[in-house]
Every structure is written in C-alpha cells, then in structure tokens.
C-alpha cells in the first residue's frame, strides 16, 4: 500500500510525541513493505519544497518562511504555496491513503478536494481540530478550557498569545476569524473516512463536540520496545525521579519543581527536554529550582531516554492540560518504571492508582510532594507499583490495528467507486 503521512513539522528540527509517533509508525510500515512518504512543513527563510530521505523513507518538507503563531493560524485558512506543494506531493506519490497527524500551519481546505479521490485517516494527537492552540489551555488564564463559546474565548486566547491581551474589545472581530477556521475544518470533516483516538477519553471528548462516533476508532499507541534490562532497586532506596518531555507551561514542570524543592536533600530529579522552544519559561524553571538534586539535562536521544528511564525510580508527568495519551508513560512502563501523574484527561485512563502508579490532582503542589515522599519513605510501595505494570503494546501490534482501519476505508472507497 502507498501511504502518505502528513503532519505540521518533523524530525530532527522538532521532537515531540506526534513527530516521534509518526516516525515510529512510518518506519514500521516501511519495514513491512509499504511505500511510505512523509509530507511536513519546515520553519526556515525562503520558499520551496525540499526532498530528502531518512530511514529509507522519502520526506517532503515545504518551506514558506519561519513559523509564527499568527502565520500558522493564517495558513490554516489558506496558503497557495503550501496547498500547491501538498497537491504536488499527492500527485507524485499517488497514495492509496493519506494519514493526517497534524495540520497546524498547513491549509485545511484543499484536503477536502483531495479527500474525494483519496481516503483520509486522522489521528487525534491533541485537540487542534477544535482548539486553535491545540491543547485546551487558555493563554489568558492558563486554565483548562472545555471548548469554544461562540469563539469569544478563542479570540481572547489569540489576543493574549499575540501580546495584545488588553485589547479585549477586539474579541468579537477576532472571534469571526476563529469561526471561519471552524467552518473550514467542518467542511473537511465529512471527507475523513476514519478518526483514530489514542484513548477513550479523547474519543469521548471529540464525539461530545460533534465528531462522528460511527467513524471514531480507539487505538492505543504502540512503541518500539527497548532491549534494556532494568537493574534491581533495593526496597527503601527510592530517590531518583525523572521528567522527560516538552518544557512548556502546560506541562506543569514548575509544579513538579515546587513540590520537589521541599524533599530531602538525598532526592534527585532529572529534567529532560528541549529548552530552546520556550526559553523564558525554562529560565524561570532554573531559577525556581533551589533543591540541590535537580538537574536539567536538555534534549535526549532515544538511547539516552531509555537509559534515563531505566535509572529512575519513577517518572513524573505533572501535566496541566488534558494529555491525549503520553508516550512517556508507555516508555516508562516498558522499562518497569512506575509513574506519578496528574489525575485528569487521558492520564487517568492510562495509570491505575496504587497499582502501577500514583494519581494526584493536577496543579496541586502539596499532593504531588506527598506522592513523591511516599515513594521515598513507604516500605514496599515502589516495588508493588513496579510489579503492577502490565506489558506495553509494541509498534508491531499497534500497526496491525492501524492497517485494519486502512484496509476498511480503502475497501469502502473501492466499493463506492
């Protein structure tokens, strides 16, 4: 099968859950004999469509200037060069199916036309199809949002992100732009043959916001399993915690640092992530971290991620937004590492409290501190959580579920034509 994966940005410039998942799935499909291509945007000066190959997979990267929040929003509404680039890649690769992972910064309208000829499958990696900032966190209050309210709250977010939060009187005018964006996406939605949600929470949230339940599939992510052997940790010796992921406000790392600052001096915390995306936030994190055991190690490669998880006694995921899945949790479980996570969104679904991890109220510094202290002080707790971890889904198992959806939508299209 010829498969075209489309997403907003890609490795190596951007390393996130969506990018990592797309690479892992595409590589597994390539190894199985499928003809796989990736189309994405790259942030750079100038304009052009570059082609390179990574892991044996052709990658088309459309360049149309540097990424900005406003520019990405405008591109969703329409961009002639990016639309022509996308159409060119479709013509050259002649896919049997297009798998969309993210459209932020890419024009959505042309895909409705493309979708009449080629089946479209969408994985819901976040909430972008409803929320323009993708993560349901308001830019003006930093709180979880339940969705648009006549797009006036969306307008407030847009103004706050643009540094014009005080210009709230412009909200009705700006709201019309968000309404226009919603209309474009609504026109595209009927052409999507299948929606894939990584958790039931994500599926239920989207169907509650008028996504078609009959075309919604819940398929948990799979990962490339490591070949590490976890060392034995003597009971009562828990001291090393880790955070691995994006370093941004909605990830709640500041909550973790505030909680960790009050732990005994013997405790250690490794904070891993790219500090270049949100440098002001990362500078504030470093200033906030007064505990001598906190160490910032920057961006890790895959081998370093596995080694960090293997060395850690527990992974902490203190997210303030509704995580949709969290590959980091799966990776932790693959190394036999229990987790401490915020009790909301898909995280509540992924972790069984007191069985393979601990759930704490999101944003609650005292509750998180208590959970970390329990792991250090409560005899047998860490060992019990480790023993409760279940086998993790491999990318090969995951791909079988995805391929079944592919075959279903392609066969349906062939019957109709």
Question: According to CATH, where is 3.40.50.2000 located in the chain?
Answer: 2-222+395-416, 240-387
User: Residue 226 pLDDT > 90, yes or no?
Assistant: no
Q: Give just the sign of the alpha carbon dihedral 32, 34, 37, 38.
A: negative
pLDDT, one tens digit per residue, over 97-128 is 999 999 999 999 999 999 999 999 999 999 99
pLDDT at 212: 97
Tokens for 230, please give them. 């976890």
* DSSP labels, 239-252: -EEEEES--SGGGT
Query: Would you say 346 and 221 are in contact if contact means Cβ atoms under 8 Å apart?
Result: no
Q: Please name which of 139, 131, 138 lies closest in space to residue 162, comparing C-alpha atoms.
A: 139
pLDDT, one tens digit per residue, over 248-286 is 999 999 999 999 999 999 999 999 999 998 999 999 999
CA atoms within 13 A on the CB side of 309: 31
Residues 355, 338: Cα–Cα separation, whole Å: 9
Mean pLDDT lowest among 188-192, 359-363, 378-382, 412-416:
412-416
pTM over cut 0.85: yes
Residues 349, 154: Cα–Cα separation, whole Å: 28
Residue 141: pLDDT band with limits 50, 70, 90? confident
Residues 282, 247: Cα–Cα separation, whole Å: 7
Choices 1.10.760.10, 3.40.50.2000, 3.30.420.40, 3.40.640.10: CATH for 2-222+395-416 = 3.40.50.2000
User: Residue 297 pLDDT > 80, yes or no?
Assistant: yes
Choices 3.10.350.10, 3.40.50.970, 3.40.50.2000, 3.20.20.70: CATH for 240-387 = 3.40.50.2000
Mean pLDDT value of segment 193-204: 98
Query: Would you say 223 and 330 are in contact if contact means Cβ atoms under 8 Å apart?
Result: yes
Tokens for 361, please give them. 């109220």
């Amino acid at each position: 099968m010829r498969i075209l994966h489309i997403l907003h940005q890609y490795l190596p410039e951007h390393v996130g859950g969506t990018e990592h998942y797309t690479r892992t799935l595409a590589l597994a499909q390539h190894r199985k004999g499928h003809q796989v291509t990736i189309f994405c945007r790259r942030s750079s000066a100038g304009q052009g469509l570059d082609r390179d190959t990574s892991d044996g997979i052709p990658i088309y990267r459309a360049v149309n200037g540097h990424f900005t929040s406003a520019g990405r929003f405008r591109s969703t509404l329409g961009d002639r060069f990016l639309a022509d680039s996308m159409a060119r890649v479709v013509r050259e690769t002649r896919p049997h199916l297009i798998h969309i992972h993210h459209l932020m910064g890419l024009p959505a309208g042309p895909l409705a036309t493309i979708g009449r000829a080629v089946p479209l499958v969408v994985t819901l990696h976040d909430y972008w199809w409803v929320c323009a900032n993708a993560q349901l966190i308001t830019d003006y209050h930093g709180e979880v949002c339940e969705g648009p309210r006549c797009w006036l709250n969306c307008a407030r977010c847009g103004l706050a992100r643009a540094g014009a939060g005080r210009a709230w009187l412009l909200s009705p005018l700006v709201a019309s732009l968000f309404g226009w964006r919603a209309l474009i996406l609504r026109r595209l939605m009927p052409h999507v043959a299948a929606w894939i949600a990584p958790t039931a929470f994500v599926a239920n949230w989207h169907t509650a916001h008028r996504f078609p339940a009959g075309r919604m599939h819940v398929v948990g992510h799979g990962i490339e399993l490591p070949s590490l052997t976890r060392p034995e940790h003597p009971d009562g010796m828990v001291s090393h915690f880790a955070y691995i992921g994006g370093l941004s406000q909605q990830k709640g790392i500041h909550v973790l640092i505030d909680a960790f600052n009050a732990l005994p001096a013997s405790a250690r915390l490794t904070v891993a992530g790219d500090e270049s995306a949100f440098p002001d936030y990362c500078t504030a994190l470093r200033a906030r971290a007064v505990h001598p055991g906190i160490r910032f190690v920057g961006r890790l490669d895959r081998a370093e991620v596995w080694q960090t998880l293997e060395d850690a006694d527990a992974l902490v995921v203190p997210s303030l937004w509704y995580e949709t899945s969290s590959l980091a949790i799966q990776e932790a479980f693959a190394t036999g590492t229990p987790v401490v996570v915020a009790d909301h969104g898909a995280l509540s679904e992924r972790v069984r409290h007191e069985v393979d991890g601990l759930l704490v109220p999101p944003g609650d510094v005292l509750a998180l501190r208590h959970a970390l202290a329990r792991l250090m002080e409560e005899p047998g707790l860490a060992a019990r959580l480790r023993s409760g971890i279940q086998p993790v889904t491999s990318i090969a198992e995951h791909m079988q579920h995805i391929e079944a959806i592919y075959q279903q939508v392609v066969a349906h299209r062939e019957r109709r034509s």
